[in-house]
Amino acid sequence: MKSKKILSLVMSLCVLGTSSMLFTSNVKAATNDKVVPVVTTNKGEETPPIQRIAGVVRVTAKSGANVRSGPGTNYSKVGTANYGAELQYAGQSKNGWYKIMYRGGYAWISSSVARLS
């Protein structure tokens, strides 16, 4: 019985050790206060980088801003943000929209009514 427990423990450690060797993380770039880690498999294949970006989006329009489900006015309105509101920045689209943290999820706000700082 004791040998079965030891064997189970040894097998578990082997599995854990092998799985931790499948991926290694290397920092490939650090520019503009952004660190972009790239995960590489043992075969040398790279996965897409995960960007960790920090910042605050501040609403600059005196009338406030619509918060939308996607990066464009064709997406549904999910709420509003008042003038001066500070929202956590989570990314940016190519067409001038900021991805923000909003009500426990992600939403979008136009860069024409807000500023990233």
Residue 78 placed within a domain:
yes
The residue among 54 and 95 whose pLDDT is bigger is: 95
Kindly state whether residues 61 and 109 are assigned to the same domain. yes
- What CATH number is attached to the domain comprising 71? 2.30.30.40
Give the mean pLDDT of 88-99: 95
Kindly state whether residues 46 and 83 are assigned to the same domain. no
CA distance to 10, 28, 47, 69, 115, per residue, from 21 (Å): 17, 19, 16, 39, 42
Give the mean pLDDT of 32-48: 51
- Rounded CA-CA distance 52/35 in Å is 6
Kindly state whether residues 26 and 47 are assigned to the same domain. yes
DSSP 6: H
Kindly state whether residues 47 and 83 are assigned to the same domain. no
Q: Token pair for residue 30?
A: 């650090």
Q: Per the structure, how many domains does the chain have?
A: 2
Residue 1 placed within a domain:
no
Kindly state whether residues 41 and 64 are assigned to the same domain. no
**Tens-place pLDDT, residues 53-65:** 679 999 999 999 9
